[in-house]
Amino acid sequence: MEQLPPRADFDNVVALTGAGISVAAGLGTFRGPDGLWTIAPDVERAMHAEYVPGNIDLMWQVWGGMHEQAQEAGPTPAHRALAVVQAQVITQNVDGLHHTAGSHDTIEIHGSAGRARCLLCPWNGPAVEAARASGDPRPRCPRCGELVRPSVVLFGESLDEAALAAAQHAAVSADLFLAVGTSGRVAPASWLAPMARAAGATVINIDPVPGDPGPAFHHQVTGDAQQVLADWAG
């Protein structure tokens, strides 16, 4: 199968997206020979909860830098296409590009690098708001003055229960479920495609490399997601 079925055949499109959808915006993936962990393994300290608060500076360098780069580049044609067709987006990404493209109800299961949360009090808000409240280079909480960190889910931390519940609800409500820029094989995202299929959705993987997408998927569309989705959205 080399193209997506007609959009008009479906009432509720849900798209699960991963790092691959943002590569065209100049953002790299994490795994693989060209992934960030391979090229710069020291940045892995920015991804583990056990190093907080000692890795705060590195967290802002890695996650804050990623968000800044993403906003400068802007959303890709694939991000924009999903917004045009009004797909419900569930993303593993933290770059904020779906919001920028117009998918304002995006479910961010790994959090957002564009937001910050306080190390002391319950404040959680836009990172730019924290930056304005800071008297030093590191963002501080506008409520209590404590240091804040990017509001992303690190290794060793639990996903936000509300975001996960919303993602599961979206998956079982879909009649077309797309996996874009992600294998969908890493939990908890790996649970969503099987849930969608079990609930009756047509489940399709879009991947530039031909292969077996796994038993959760009915089909694979082989091609660049940027072109595939742009063509599909018209």
Q: How far apart are CA 103 and CA 105, in angstroms?
A: 6
Q: What is the pLDDT of residues 15-35, one digit of tens each?
A: 999 989 999 888 765 555 555
Q: How far apart are CA 27 and CA 9, in angstroms?
A: 33
Three state DSSP letters for 158-222:
CCCHHHHHHHHHHHHHCCEEEEECCCCCCCCHHHHHHHHHHCCCEEEEEECCCCCCCCCCCEEEE
Q: Where are the alpha helices (DSSP H) in 41-94?
A: 56-59, 65-73, 77-84
Q: What is the pLDDT of residues 42-81, one digit of tens each?
A: 677 888 899 999 999 989 988 888 899 999 999 999 999 9
Q: What is the pLDDT of residues 99-153, one digit of tens each?
A: 999 999 999 999 999 999 999 999 999 988 887 777 667 899 999 999 999 999 9
Domains of the chain: 7-110+153-233 (3.40.50.1220)
Tell me the pLDDT of the chain averaged across its residues.
Answer: 90
Q: How far apart are CA 198 and CA 87, in angstroms?
A: 20
211: Cβ contacts below 8 Å, ≥ 6 apart: 220
User: What per-residue confidence (pLDDT) applies to 36?
Assistant: 54
* Residue 59, amino acid: M
Residues classed as catalytic: 110
pTM of the complete model: 0.91
Helix (H, G, I), strand (E, B) or coil at 83: helix
Q: How far apart are CA 165 and CA 174, in angstroms?
A: 14
Closest to 116 in 3D by CA, of 149, 70, 145, 142: 149
* Residue 10, amino acid: F
